[in-house]
Amino acid sequence: MRNKYLGKAFEILTLFSAIAIISVILFMLFEILYNSWGTLNWNFLISPPDQGMTAGGIFPAIVGTTYLVLLMSLIGVPIGTITAIYLVEYANSKSIFTKIIRFAVNTLAGVPSIVFGLFGLGFFIQFIGGGLDKVLYDNKELVWGQPNLLWASFTMAFLTVPVVIVSVEEALRSVPDDLRAASLALGVSKLRTIIKIVIPNAMSGIITGTILAISRGAGEVAPILFTGAAYFLPKLPSSLSDQFMNLGYHIYIMSTQSTNVDETAGIQFATVAVLLLLTSSLTGIGVYFRYKIRKRKLN
Amino acid sequence: MKKEYNLIKKNNDYFEIFGEIFIKLISLISFIVIILIFVFVFREAQYTFIEQRHETSQEEQIQETYGDIPEDNNVSTSGYASMETSGHAGKADWNNLTSKNWQPVSSEPKYGLIPLAIGSFKVTVVAVLFGAPIAILAAIYTALFANKKLKEIIKPSIEVLASFPSVVIGFFALVILATLLQNIFGYQYRLNAFVGGLALSLAIIPIIYTITEDALSTVPKYWVEASLALGANKWQTAFFVILPAAIPGIFAALILGFGRAFGETMIVLMATGNAALVSTNIFEPVRTMSATIGAEMAEVVFGEVHYGVLFLIGSILFIFTFILNAIAEFYIRGKLLKRFRGDV
């Protein structure tokens, strides 16, 4: 008897934990949406900051974030997709090469984002950028050896590659072996089978991976703190060597470094709401796709 | 599948041959990046130990600071302007690095890493102590007790939290949570290790929850059925069969959660007050290792000792999380899989 009551008590305790987490999430969402209600409107999205950041909107930050995630995807998605293809279609799980790649991907997923920022600074900006400046401009001009959109995108791309790999891998594994066998039986070679049969069937996974990577990349701030994000720019970035504004960075600076923190509270909350809606809706779409892929695998 | 592929591989199909080489090379990139992170983060850390030159002109220094210098003059630039970035003498030796003071910007700079390490551990421990039990209990509810309908509501809801950018959680902690908690507990400093730790727990809860839930759900069904068939009730089965079997997975979840909390930057940067103190009081402000890099990298000059020390901190963070990840992976792979295959 006693045992039974203890068990019931434990079950209720676990239920309360789940409820507690969900309540905190709801509380966060409520506070952010409630406080941004007055500021968040269409005009806020399409106008630049005004009057020393105390008025106006966040248009340049939206544009900067968009440029960043697009460039990042251009670099990271092909790398992630091809790595996943290797891991699923080619890799012999016992070979050392495969084990190294697997370990590298897992490690990459666990590297703190601030270390990616340091890597971007040390490798892309100092080494590659500095080297390019030496070769192209004879060290007279500082073009590539400084924080900019390109290096921030590269840094972010490597941060999000594991996200892409996981999604694409799952999708590739859900493609039935019958399809591959049928193609091979018709005399089609391996790589052509992958390109013509496997990849089209795994397209949803590639899209899912891209969406999840974009969601992650849009929200990360630490890697771009010193690889390209800027607090305020009068112009939109026009070349890869320009700095850019970014939603997350905007939130960070506005809430910690500006003198009129209280005055801009509405803008801050509205920016947070925009970023949060962006990342969570993207993640929502991605997770839904993934759910569908899993269902297909089960059938 | 692999064998069938190889049977029809033609030796003279260059599309196939070069295609495979290309795919292999691309998949090596992840590995190369890991090596590059090692090499370049460590390489820049060397400036910690190199004797400084003093002849750098002011102009060069301005060009070579990182991060942005706000161009809008109407808005305060005090955070940047007040920081003297002119070169400091000397290099950081072992005594300096292990001292109890972090004062990188002063006439006699102190690069003591002790307060930063204490700060990181304090915040991380608060986050794990608070977040882990809740996440694990919630995972137990989802995996063992919830009916299918509830499960389909609870699981995605908690996983949504994983998509919250850390800057958003940091903002929430800074603007709302800090004031709320100060009103409840009445401590002196609005931003402190406690607030930072609680906010950080929001970032690690989804990680610990997801991995624990996975570990619990992968316990073989026939173990559960066997237990029930022997007359054990639902809770006894949960307690004495499923939970012990999933312990390695839960352990791995804890390690990964710890690693994530330790390396997290934006939340602690915004919510912990960033004062490098040596104290065990969790209601005092702290400055963590990651936050130090985030806050100060924009102000340092390339090649300066301070610049090197920040990279040194980054190297330590990297090695630490690297080891934690390796342990977690080894633990999952080695123990969990072996156990479920039956050779306990």
Q: What is the CATH number of domain B114-341?
A: 1.10.3720.10
Lowest model confidence (mean pLDDT) among A36-40, A279-283, B47-51: B47-51
Confidence of residue A297 (pLDDT cuts 50, 70, 90): low
Task: Give ipTM to 2 decimals.
Answer: 0.91
Do the chains contact at A283 and B163, CB–CB below 8 Å?
Answer: yes
**Is there a domain that residue A2 lies in?**
no
Do the chains contact at B293 and A118, CB–CB below 8 Å?
Answer: yes
- Looking at the complex, does the CB of residue B24 fall below 8 Å from at least one CB of chain A? yes
**Nearest Cα residue to A161 out of A126, A202, A111, A199:** A111
B168: Cβ contacts below 8 Å, ≥ 6 apart? A32, A219, A248, A251, A272, A275, A276
State the Cα–Cα distance between residues B192 and B198, nearest whole angstrom.
Answer: 10
Domain ranges of chain B: 114-341
B158 and A21 Cβ atoms separated by less than 8 Å = yes
pLDDT of residue B83: 39
B213 and B243 Cβ atoms separated by less than 8 Å = no
Do the chains contact at B165 and A232, CB–CB below 8 Å?
Answer: no
Question: pLDDT for A66-88, tens place per residue?
Answer: 999 999 999 999 999 999 999 99
**Is there a domain that residue A108 lies in?**
yes
B149: Cβ contacts below 8 Å, ≥ 6 apart? none
State the Cα–Cα distance between residues B189 and A124, nearest whole angstrom.
Answer: 40
**Is there a domain that residue A49 lies in?**
yes
Coil, helix or strand at residue A70: helix
- Looking at the complex, does the CB of residue A1 fall below 8 Å from at least one CB of chain B? no
**Is there a domain that residue A10 lies in?**
no
Residue of A nearest to B205 (CA): A21
Question: pLDDT for A194-240, tens place per residue?
Answer: 999 999 999 988 999 999 999 999 999 999 998 988 888 888 888 88
Residue of A nearest to B143 (CA): A14
In Å, how far is A89's CA from the nearest CA of chain B?
Answer: 8
**Is there a domain that residue A76 lies in?**
yes
Do the chains contact at B263 and A114, CB–CB below 8 Å?
Answer: yes
Q: What is the CATH number of the domain that holds A198?
A: 1.10.3720.10
Q: Which residues from A are below 8 Å from B159, CB to CB?
A: 287
C-alpha A12: how far from chain center? 37
Q: What is the mean pLDDT of residues A158-171?
A: 93
Closest CB from B163, B167, B294 relative to A248: B167
pLDDT truncated to tens, each residue of chain B (344 aa)? 554 555 555 556 888 889 999 999 999 999 999 999 999 999 888 888 876 654 444 444 444 445 544 433 333 333 333 333 444 446 677 777 878 888 887 777 888 899 999 999 999 999 999 999 999 999 999 998 888 899 989 998 898 898 899 999 999 999 999 999 999 998 888 899 999 999 999 999 999 999 999 889 888 888 889 998 998 888 888 888 888 888 888 998 999 999 999 999 999 999 998 888 888 888 999 999 999 999 998 888 888 888 999 999 999 999 999 999 888 887 776 666 566 555 44
The residue whose two tokens read 């090649």 is B303
Do the chains contact at A79 and B133, CB–CB below 8 Å?
Answer: no
Reply yes or no on whether the pLDDT at A185 is more than 70: yes
For the beta carbon of residue A4, count every other beta carbon within 10 angstroms: 12
pLDDT of residue A257: 80
Do the chains contact at B135 and A21, CB–CB below 8 Å?
Answer: yes
pLDDT of residue B75: 35
**Is there a domain that residue A17 lies in?**
no
pLDDT of residue A197: 92
State the Cα–Cα distance between residues B101 and B110, nearest whole angstrom.
Answer: 6
How large is the greatest C-alpha to C-alpha distance in chain A, in angstroms?
Answer: 84
Q: Which residues from B are below 8 Å from A219, CB to CB?
A: 163-168
Confidence of residue A105 (pLDDT cuts 50, 70, 90): very high
Residue of A nearest to B25 (CA): A83
State the Cα–Cα distance between residues A30 and A20, nearest whole angstrom.
Answer: 15
- DSSP tag of A110: H
**Nearest Cα residue to A148 out of A69, A234, A237, A219:** A237
- Looking at the complex, does the CB of residue A169 fall below 8 Å from at least one CB of chain B? no
- Looking at the complex, does the CB of residue B264 fall below 8 Å from at least one CB of chain A? yes
Do the chains contact at B44 and A283, CB–CB below 8 Å?
Answer: no
- DSSP tag of A48: -
In Å, how far is B101's CA from the nearest CA of chain A?
Answer: 23
pLDDT of residue B89: 47
**Is there a domain that residue A32 lies in?**
no
State the Cα–Cα distance between residues B269 and B242, nearest whole angstrom.
Answer: 39
pTM: 0.87
Q: What is the mean pLDDT of residues A169-189?
A: 91
**Is there a domain that residue A291 lies in?**
yes
Q: Which residues pair with A55 in a beta bridge?
A: A50
